[in-house]
Amino acid sequence: MTQTVKETKVERIYNFSAGPAVLPLEVLEQVQRDLLSYPGAGMSVMEMSHRSAPFEGIIHTAEADLRTLLNIPANYKVLYLQGGASLQFSMIPMNFLPAGAEASYIISGVWAQTAYKEALKLGKARVAASTESENFTRVPTQNEIQIDPQDAYAHFTSNNTIYGTQSLVEPEVGDVSLLCDASSDILSRPLDITKYAMLYGGAQKNAGIAGTTLVIVREDLLARVPKNLPSMLDYRLMAEKESLFNTPSAFAIYVNGLVVKWLLSIGGLPEIERRNQEKAALLYAAIDASGGFYRGHSQLTSRSLMNVTFRLPSEELEKKFVKESTAIGLDGLKGHRSVGGLRASIYNAFPKEGVEALVAFMKDFQAKNG
């Protein structure tokens, strides 16, 4: 059976959403080509069994490509789980925080705090450092972080999506297992995976669409998982079953695989890091050149390459900025309610032209309202 699909003219705006977020156009086009019939399968990915040969090909290729991209050592498992980063907040203490032990949490924002609060429901946890009293305008510095060699693990958030701050260097935690929520900067730059016991993130910001959560976990940690956890919450079981204990979020895994292939095709993580640095530099330069009209939320040392947060002289002007920018196709710039102001999320797939368009709009807006 063959069907002809009418060509439709599509118009895409610049999408600054913090998540779910912009995808590479090449990936969307591939999804469109595969949508009615995945090559060789005669059906869409949404319709196929997760035990079928085509889907096995999809998940195995996605994992192999991710291992190449991030240079993941053989003693790490890659899992595709559901429940978002938020479920990992609960699974981490269930799996890795034994009774009597204590975990430490570096609090650099609301997501970090949420992870910590979930741990408190399930065991003993401690704040290793916090910048809450400074409204999370920076990440904690190394000498503020208090790790106990006995800690079951130390948890941090590499990019604070809401505040626009980022830790470009991992905290030093000695021999303590370092766990990282990298939901909003995973795959944005090269990482030394061996520094991490576990790295995880929902796919919907930098790595695909909502529905699957990437978990990269060192094998020896899995030996700590207690017996008798509910199956769906047991990392060891998920690893044993290669993420196919139950029906996985198949379409989201497929899209993640395409995003990873796209990253490999453009030159891997060094190239995406270069692009991300270039885009962020354009925006921060515009903020810094505005003579105080635009004020960055983050302190200079913690500026995020992913989420650029800034304020205007008044809330009225901020409202006007959002309204007028949206009207010309610069969408999703309203800041998170806990920070206010504006937030431009410029993840991997966000094009440089969109950043240039925003910078031009900022200059124009200041000239008219400054």
Q: Candidates 69-77, 180-188, 283-291, 328-336 — which segment interacts with ligand PLP by CB under 6 A?
A: 180-188
**Closest to ligand PLP by CB, 180 or 322:** 180
Identified binder of ligand PLP from the candidate list 24, 171, 202, 335, rule CB under 6 A: 202
Smallest separation, CB 116 to ligand PLP (Å): 12
Q: Candidates 2-10, 177-185, 276-284, 319-327 — which segment interacts with ligand PLP by CB under 6 A?
A: 177-185
CA distance 358 to 279: 11
106-125 b/e with 16+ CB inside 10 Å = b? bbbbbbbbbbbebbeebbeb
Sites for ligand PLP among residues 147-176 (CB under 6 A) = 157, 161
Name the residues annotated as catalytic.
Answer: 111, 181, 205
Query: Residue 188 interacts with ligand PLP (CB under 6 A)?
Result: no
Smallest separation, CB 342 to ligand PLP (Å): 17
Identified binder of ligand PLP from the candidate list 37, 44, 86, 290, rule CB under 6 A: 86
What is the CA angle 356-358-360, rounded to 5?
A: 70
| DSSP for residue 156 | E
Smallest separation, CB 19 to ligand PLP (Å): 5
Query: Residue 335 interacts with ligand PLP (CB under 6 A)?
Result: no
CA distance 254 to 209: 10
Binding residues for pyridoxal 5'-phosphate: 85-86, 111, 161, 181, 204, 246-247
CA distance 71 to 175: 22
Query: Residue 332 interacts with ligand PLP (CB under 6 A)?
Result: no
Q: Candidates 33-41, 83-91, 147-155, 281-289 — which segment interacts with ligand PLP by CB under 6 A?
A: 83-91
For tokens 């993420």, the residue is 243
Q: Candidates 44-52, 67-75, 82-90, 355-363 — which segment interacts with ligand PLP by CB under 6 A?
A: 82-90
Mask for 111-130, x = binds ligand PLP (CB under 6 A):
x-------------------
Given a contact cutoff of 8 angstroms between Cβ atoms, the answer to whether 234 and 77 are in contact is no
**Closest to ligand PLP by CB, 204 or 366:** 204
Given a contact cutoff of 8 angstroms between Cβ atoms, the answer to whether 345 and 17 are in contact is yes
Torsion region of 85: left, alpha or beta (phi above 0 gives left; psi -120 to 50 gives alpha): alpha
Query: Residue 183 interacts with ligand PLP (CB under 6 A)?
Result: yes
CA distance 221 to 218: 6
The SS3 call for residue 17 is coil
CA 313, 314, 320, 322 dihedral sign is: positive
Query: Residue 84 interacts with ligand PLP (CB under 6 A)?
Result: yes
CA 256, 261, 264, 266 dihedral sign is: negative
Tokens linked to 158: 């590499």
Sites for ligand PLP among residues 262-281 (CB under 6 A) = none
- What is the longest distance spanned by two Cα atoms in the chain? 66
> Could you give phi then psi for residue 125, rounded to 5 degrees?
-145, 155
Sites for ligand PLP among residues 16-35 (CB under 6 A) = 19
Identified binder of ligand PLP from the candidate list 48, 66, 85, 269, rule CB under 6 A: 85
Q: Which residues bind ligand PLP (CB under 6 A)?
A: 19, 84-86, 111, 157, 161, 181, 183-184, 202
